[in-house]
Chain A
Amino acid sequence: MSGAAPLTFEGEGASRIAWRRRFDVLFQVVALLVMVVALICLGTLLWDVISDGSGRLSWQFITGFSSRRASQAGIWHALTGSLFVIIVTAVLAVPVGVAAAIYLEEYGGRSVVARIIELNITNLAAVPSIIYGLLGLGLFVRMMGMGRSVLAGAATLALLVLPVVILSTREALRAVPRSLREGSYALGATQWQTIWHQVLPVAAPGIMTGLILALSRAIGETAPLITIGAVTFATFAPDSVWSPFTVLPIQIFNWVSRPQTDFHANAAAGILVLVALLLSMNAAAIWLRDRYQKRGLA
């Protein structure tokens, strides 16, 4: 026979290839099933919350304050509190965290001190948040006399997310190829010039992804803020970093623990507001990241 014969295998080889194919398909099916289960759980949860809470969602609910009557209670104080706290948290945690990561990754080298710090940061990322709450209560509220203020809450949350910020920033810096740094050094750039002009722009999208995750974690935290004494009943919005405050998760927790079912609907509506806030924060961060990425390549 002339011409190209089709590539075939016979005997044991053929059956082994057939088995490998079947395994491939099997794996795809299992992966799909796992994903469907996860999506169903999430969908059910969301549906439940929407059906409970959407009736309560109104402008009055969003702009209202705490009230003894469920139908008049709103979440303006908690929403502004959450926003205020998260912005201050970001202001405190982002510069410190990114700077610490730059030091550890670019300057720290392999010194013993750098390695001890690194080990400790990895451990800190796994410490339960209530411990940070206790630390915040002792350090910020009492010792430093900040009181039960926005600043104390934000400082506590900043400590909480700092390890996450540092670790994710380091990962992003490490992903920048050495050839890029070498290209910069070879032109007579200093280490800082290389980091600022070449490494950080390339690492920025990765750093931002880490920041989104870290701040998303902070905005959902309840335990440490309860520990440092955030209020649960407020008829005012925080107007300075020294104001008492509450945040959405605490307000939701408070409503859920009430016996009256009307408040449970408020809690569901509060969850919807929190989810919307989280999603819009993430969307804003992703938009920023994409814009940065495009500019970096232009």
Chain B
Amino acid sequence: MSATTRSIPSLGDLTASRQASVETDGPCKIEADRLNFFYGETRALQDISIKIKPHLVTAFIGPSGCGKSTFLRTLNRMNDIIPGTRAEGKVLIDGSDIYSSGVDVVQLRRRVGMVFQKSNPFPKSVFENIAYGLRINGMAGSKSELAARVEESLKQAALWDEVKDRLHDSALATSGGQQQRLCIARALAVRPDILLMDEPASALDPIATQRIEELVYDLKKKYTIVIVTHNMQQAARVSDYTAFFWLGRLVEYDRTDRIFTAPTQKLTEDYVTGRFG
């Protein structure tokens, strides 16, 4: 064991970030093109370019503060609500730039759903949590249609059987894992095509985590899923593609099996083998 292998690589080691050729062909759902993002004067993302494929799970990994969550939040412009931030560059969803003027952020966010690290159910009933998105988007004409959509969403999130008898109890009375699945159901109710998940299982116990992971696996048939995780085993288990971020840069992006077994960047290898981070 030599001590030198444990040292954190410097930015000098990082040549142009490498992306496997495989991801450039075939259909592409989300594409970032030299995206830079700033919190005030601080540049949090540097020239991120990536193409994310439809109906697959793409995982973002990297040490804390590497920009993976920030990048995820640029994909539905959730960072817009933080004062003093700005994005430069392009993010294309189905070929159109979501940062161009004239884009309706409200429409965008309905299409690009999001689940947060800390589950954040509304302080209302289970039913109302799901119905809210449908109501504000005018997506349910009648009461029966609303109820049907709520049931459908809860079933998709594998939560229906657990809450069907207490739909009108407070959502805050359910367990942590149930609350997070409720948040997933809430996001699915408005029928997005993309689902962004920001460390959705980081606050959950192993069993609840497993249920979320199984859910992700099921959901990719219908949705394009991007998941941020600090847990590399989780990335390896649930994702088809993995992107490794470091200091606001995209270091390597490839099929998940290759990222974990044959990374081409030394930095990636050091990270996935646990030498730093």
The interface of chain A, by Cβ under 8 A from chain B, is: 109-110, 177, 179-190, 193, 197-198, 201-202, 296-298
> Please, how many residues of chain B have a CB less than 8 angstroms from a CB on the other chain?
32
**B159, chain A: closest CB distance, angstroms:** 16
- Given A186, A187, A296, which contacts B123 in the complex, CB threshold below 8 Å? A296
Give complex CA distance A197, B114 in Å: 19
Q: Is the CB of B113 within 8 A of A182?
A: no
**A225, chain B: closest CB distance, angstroms:** 41
**Which of the listed residues A182, A185, A188, A298 has the most CB atoms from chain B within 10 Å of its own CB?**
A188
Within 8 A of A (CB), among B161-192: 168, 170, 172, 183, 186-187, 189-190
Q: Is the CB of A184 within 8 A of B122?
A: yes
**Which of the listed residues A109, A184, A296 has the most CB atoms from chain B within 10 Å of its own CB?**
A184
Give complex CA distance A117, B221 in Å: 52
Q: Is the CB of B110 within 8 A of A187?
A: yes
> What are the residues of chain A within 8 A of B123 when measuring CB–CB?
180, 201-202, 296-297
| Interface CB pairs A-B, < 8 A, 24 | A110-B83, A177-B120, A179-B116, A180-B120, A181-B81, A182-B120, A183-B116, A183-B120, A184-B122, A185-B81, A185-B109, A186-B114, A186-B116, A187-B109, A187-B113, A188-B133, A188-B136, A189-B132, A189-B133, A198-B122, A201-B123, A297-B124, A298-B125, A298-B168
> What are the residues of chain A within 8 A of B187 when measuring CB–CB?
186-187
**A113, chain B: closest CB distance, angstroms:** 15
B107 close to A (CB within 8 Å): yes
**B106, chain A: closest CB distance, angstroms:** 5
Give complex CA distance A283, B250 in Å: 59
Give complex CA distance A202, B125 in Å: 14
Give complex CA distance A185, B78 in Å: 8
- Given B121, B136, B170, which contacts A187 in the complex, CB threshold below 8 Å? B136
Nearest 8 Cβ contacts at the A-B interface: A188-B110, A187-B133, A186-B114, A179-B120, A183-B120, A188-B109, A193-B136, A189-B136
Q: Is the CB of A186 within 8 A of B122?
A: no
- Assuming the contacts A180-B122, A202-B123, A297-B170, asked whether A186 and B136 have C-beta atoms less than 8 A apart, the reply is no
Q: Is the CB of A186 within 8 A of B78?
A: yes
Q: A180-B120, A190-B136 are in contact. List 9 more A-B contacts (CB 8 A).
A: A109-B83, A184-B132, A185-B78, A185-B109, A186-B76, A187-B110, A201-B123, A297-B124, A298-B168
> What are the residues of chain B within 8 A of A186 when measuring CB–CB?
76, 78, 109, 113-114, 116, 187
- Given B106, B116, B125, B132, which contacts A182 in the complex, CB threshold below 8 Å? B116
> What are the residues of chain A within 8 A of B78 when measuring CB–CB?
182, 185-186
Q: Is the CB of A188 within 8 A of B125?
A: no
> What are the residues of chain A within 8 A of B170 when measuring CB–CB?
297-298
> What are the residues of chain A within 8 A of B121 when measuring CB–CB?
183
Q: Is the CB of B186 within 8 A of A187?
A: yes
> What are the residues of chain B within 8 A of A179 when measuring CB–CB?
116, 118, 120
> What are the residues of chain A within 8 A of B111 when measuring CB–CB?
188
> What are the residues of chain A within 8 A of B210 when measuring CB–CB?
none
> What are the residues of chain B within 8 A of A298 when measuring CB–CB?
124-125, 168, 170
Give complex CA distance A296, B120 in Å: 15
**A114, chain B: closest CB distance, angstroms:** 11
> What are the residues of chain A within 8 A of B133 when measuring CB–CB?
187-189
B273 close to A (CB within 8 Å): no
B137 close to A (CB within 8 Å): yes
> What are the residues of chain A within 8 A of B114 when measuring CB–CB?
182, 186
**A290, chain B: closest CB distance, angstroms:** 15
Q: Is the CB of B118 within 8 A of A187?
A: no
Give complex CA distance A188, B133 in Å: 7
Q: Is the CB of B183 within 8 A of A183?
A: yes
> What are the residues of chain B within 8 A of A188 when measuring CB–CB?
106-107, 109-111, 133, 136-137, 190
> What are the residues of chain B within 8 A of A202 when measuring CB–CB?
123
> What are the residues of chain B within 8 A of A201 when measuring CB–CB?
123
